[in-house]
Structure 1
Amino acid sequence: MPEPSRSKELPVSLLTDPVMIEACRARDFGRVFQLVKARAGIYPSMIARRCDLTPSRVGEVIDGRRQLLHMDVIERISDGLRIPGHMLGLARRTWETPQNLTVTPREPTGSAPAADAQSAAGLPGTDVDGILALAAERDLSPSTLSALHSAIMDYWRRDDEHGGETLRPAVVGQLRYVVGLLKEGIPSPMRDGLHGIAAELARLTGWTYFDARQYHQARVYFTEALALAKAIDDHRFMANVLACMSLQATYQDKPGDALALVAAAQDQARAAVGTTPRVLAMLAMREAFAHATLGNHSATHTAISEAHTYFGRIGADDPDPAWVAYFDETKLVVDTGIAHGRLGEAVLAEPLITDALRREHRTNHRARAFHAFWLARTQLQRGKLDEACHTAMDALAPAAAVRSQRVAGHLREFHEQLEPFRREPAAVAFESRLREALPRQVSGSPRP
């Protein structure tokens, strides 16, 4: 039977109505069908079509002249009318979990489909690109470096708004272009500037893989960024890359690695000339994340205190590198809340994340979704089920607007933590909204 479309979802008000809940619990399908007709406008002929029943059989059930007892029929009613399985005493149905929450192995990269090959037929091959590049005259100047830096800043902005997966080919292409320039024996200081740009592009590429939870590839590019920065003794940028690798280690549940990497980052920052308080505040917060992942309360609180102390020393004229500009007061507050949340200190975490989310820029879809799911989890820890589900509902729009496996992972975690409460009206309403926001585009189970 085809999977019902998202427009065929029953109203949340019906699914959470005590009369409907009791009718489903008793498997009183006469009453269920009457409620579906009255409240959702789904008439008996449509019920029959959706549930693979005959219209006469549906009419007999509504009139009380027939009962539906066979399990395969009950399953078809659940699937056809989109009644969550638990309401009818069934296991969770496949359509209840959107495909976005199902972890599937990434398909191996193969050759392009024939249609794609045809559309690209008018483009020169990579060997011709290389020949043309050799023939072209290089006109490198400070303005060239400025243009490349501007492109990187634009990539980061688009990464925040949409996720980095679609940007990655362009970023990698630009990285290889800059690395190619470095092989041509360009004199300093232009060479040092290109090394710095290559390091930034390699870190950005690593970040896009990290956000896609492809951790091995992320580490490869982070390591390349580290080597490029080391070649020009840019200790501050080395600290930045090591901090990224530390954050990735917390996601991989390797807190020992996370702590070692952030300690190395702090060493690099201290060795650098002109390291600003903002950089040191960001690194202290990454240290707090590592300690929190280890469950060390006192060390986490000390690191949080250091981050706030450093942040308080920031001056208006500090020569901050562009890559740390994101670490503003809002980021400090939300990261403090997340560090407390990692420790299970939901009472401390909730007001901080709430405050930061209120300030978050509307176009930063990934951060808004990411932080809203953190807030929902802390509210759930505090027993605020209705508030948690409402917060998570608000996060679905920005989550759908950005391609980020990290955000999808946080949604999955919240969805799993909601499992003990899935019969509660707030949870039913959230799951219904979730299916609308992230529909599962698969076929339903065949009729037994």
Structure 2
Amino acid sequence: MSNPSEVPDLPARLLSDPEMVAACHERDFAKVFVLVRRAGLYPAVIAQRIGQTPSRVGEVISRKRTFRDMHVIERIADGLRIPGAMLGLASREWEVQPATGPVPQQATPGPAPMPTSTIPGTDLDSILAVATGPRLSPSTLRALHSSIEDYWRRDDEHGGEVLRPAVVGQLRYVVELIKDAADDQYRRGLYGIAAELARLTGWTYFDARQYSQARTYFTEALQLAKAVDERRFMANVLACMSLQATYEDRPADAVALSTAAQDAARGHGGTPRVMSMLSMREAFAHASLNNRAATHAALAEAHRQFEQISSGDPDPAWVAYFDEPKLIVDTGIAHGRLGDARTAEPLIADALQREDARNQRGRAFHAYWLAATQLQRGNVDQACSTAALALETAASVGSERVMGHLRDFQAQLTPYSRQPEAATFQTRLRAALQ
């Protein structure tokens, strides 16, 4: 490895780039190495400087492995001249002065606790344009809400990983606005916006199957919502945490979280649509425990609440996605989790035809579940064809969660691996994962 004293510094512009700061902060070395290319350091050069083989660096870039050993992380800091604080390390010997640009201050990776975080913002487009006049105004809050709606739309269409640096930057920007807000009305609105941004950040980590980071941001969202006693939004976050618990094979926790979510919303503005969505989360949790009676009871409650929805309900914006196709497809998935493929398949197929085509991740996810139920019923050719559709749709969305499901489907195909359709799908999936 080169002597650190002979290694040129990375450009200050790169070190202060919010995307680079966030990648270092999370010790996402795949992203770090990709960004370092901007300074002309390609994998072979990176490998030489950090004392690793080019193939190992390539595996990190392709996310087949990562670096966790502190000695290796220190070599990355020294070899690439990344200031220690950016990677949660002590200042390195070669550092003459603090890193150019703002960097995180805590000693361990993960998002800083609100409100003392120093993660810098990113380009805020219309948000900053609005804020250049009066520090706070109703139009500021409207612009912030509008940006959140746009983030969710793009998350549905393209996945959230590329959005995350901008969302985190905007979250920290709003936290700073809260400190300056003297009017209680604005403070309450900003707390709600910050809670939504923290939940969105947690969701992007959950969808990337980075569960520890997701949990940290979901917890921050809960704290922000609790600060203004926004019980409905607390219920929303608890529902997200319940869903994550099912993925982490913690079904008992999933049940407890879904129950807590309903308790938080009940009597505090929990509209029928909200309560229906929360009951569906409970159904998923019980299905993970293979508790058929409790799953069916929760599904019945979800449908009962949904039937009570009226056009005048004061639904929060974040529950608008839970429409009739979503109710139907989630009902099918709950039955699929119980192994009841005969009931699940027509429900999922019907909803898949009716749901918004712009929700690429949702369509890929639901196509997987349709394929899984078709395979349970022994329809191998049809299942592989549907899974190929899911794979094609997933290719346009950066969702490790969807790809994880497709790898599960590949494993389920093992008994049929000699059939041409199964072999074709497995070849396609391997190509997509390279």
What TM-score comes out, normalization by structure 2 length? 0.71
Q: What are the within-5 Å matches in structure 2 for residues 4-403 of structure 1? A: 104-107=64-67, 125-126=101-102, 138-272=134-268, 274-403=269-398
The 8 Å contact of residues 365 and 402 in structure 1, kept in 2 or not, is answered as yes
Give the direction of change, closer, same or farther, for the CA distance of 1:112–1:420 in structure 2 (3 Å limit). Answer: farther
What is the distance in 2 between the residues matched to 1:210 and 1:391?
A: 25
The 8 Å contact of residues 229 and 237 in structure 1, kept in 2 or not, is answered as yes
TM-aligned CA deviation for residue 254 of structure 1: 0.3
Please say which of residues 174-183 and 193-202 is displaced more in the overlay: 174-183
The 8 Å contact of residues 418 and 427 in structure 1, kept in 2 or not, is answered as yes
Q: What is the identity, as a one-letter code, of the residue corresponding to 2:272?
A: P
What is the distance in 1 between the residues matched to 2:371 and 2:334?
A: 15
What is the distance in 2 between the residues matched to 1:115 and 1:206?
A: 30
Q: What is the identity, as a one-letter code, of the residue corresponding to 2:218?
A: F
TM-aligned CA deviation for residue 137 of structure 1: 6.6
CA RMSD of aligned residues (A): 2.7
TM-aligned CA deviation for residue 351 of structure 1: 0.5
What is the distance in 2 between the residues matched to 1:103 and 1:292?
A: 31
User: Gapped runs of 5+ residues in structure 2?
Assistant: 1-58, 84-99, 104-119, 122-127
What is the distance in 1 between the residues matched to 2:135 and 2:346?
A: 53
What is the distance in 2 between the residues matched to 1:406 and 1:439?
A: 13
The SS at the match of 1:393 is: helix
Give the direction of change, closer, same or farther, for the CA distance of 1:264–1:439 in structure 2 (3 Å limit). Answer: closer
What is the distance in 2 between the residues matched to 1:326 and 1:115?
A: 45
The 8 Å contact of residues 235 and 271 in structure 1, kept in 2 or not, is answered as no
TM-aligned CA deviation for residue 396 of structure 1: 1.6
Aligned partner of 1:55 in structure 2 is none
Q: What is the identity, as a one-letter code, of the residue corresponding to 2:65?
A: P
The 8 Å contact of residues 199 and 224 in structure 1, kept in 2 or not, is answered as yes
What is the distance in 2 between the residues matched to 1:223 and 1:311?
A: 28
TM-aligned CA deviation for residue 103 of structure 1: 7.5
What is the distance in 1 between the residues matched to 2:79 and 2:391?
A: 33
The 8 Å contact of residues 266 and 280 in structure 1, kept in 2 or not, is answered as yes
The SS at the match of 1:253 is: coil
Pick aligned residue for 1:410 from 405, 414, 428: 405
Indicate the structure whose relative CO is greater, using CA pairs within 8 Å and at least 6 residues apart. Answer: 1
TM-aligned CA deviation for residue 241 of structure 1: 0.4
Give the direction of change, closer, same or farther, for the CA distance of 1:112–1:409 in structure 2 (3 Å limit). Answer: farther
Give the direction of change, closer, same or farther, for the CA distance of 1:318–1:331 in structure 2 (3 Å limit). Answer: same
What is the distance in 1 between the residues matched to 2:412 and 2:179?
A: 52
TM-aligned CA deviation for residue 115 of structure 1: 12
The 8 Å contact of residues 239 and 257 in structure 2, kept in 1 or not, is answered as yes
What is the distance in 2 between the residues matched to 1:324 and 1:105?
A: 37
Aligned partner of 2:423 in structure 1 is 428
What TM-score comes out, normalization by structure 1 length? 0.69
The 8 Å contact of residues 199 and 217 in structure 2, kept in 1 or not, is answered as yes
What is the distance in 2 between the residues matched to 1:255 and 1:192?
A: 34
Structure whose alpha-carbon radius of gyration is higher: 1
Give the direction of change, closer, same or farther, for the CA distance of 1:291–1:439 in structure 2 (3 Å limit). Answer: closer
Please say which of residues 283-292 and 390-399 is displaced more in the overlay: 390-399
Instruction: Write out per-residue CA displacement over residues 143-173 of structure 1, whole angstroms, 9 at most, x where no aligned residue.
Output: 1000000000000001111111110000000
What is the distance in 1 between the residues matched to 2:78 and 2:317?
A: 38
Aligned partner of 2:55 in structure 1 is none
Aligned partner of 1:13 in structure 2 is none
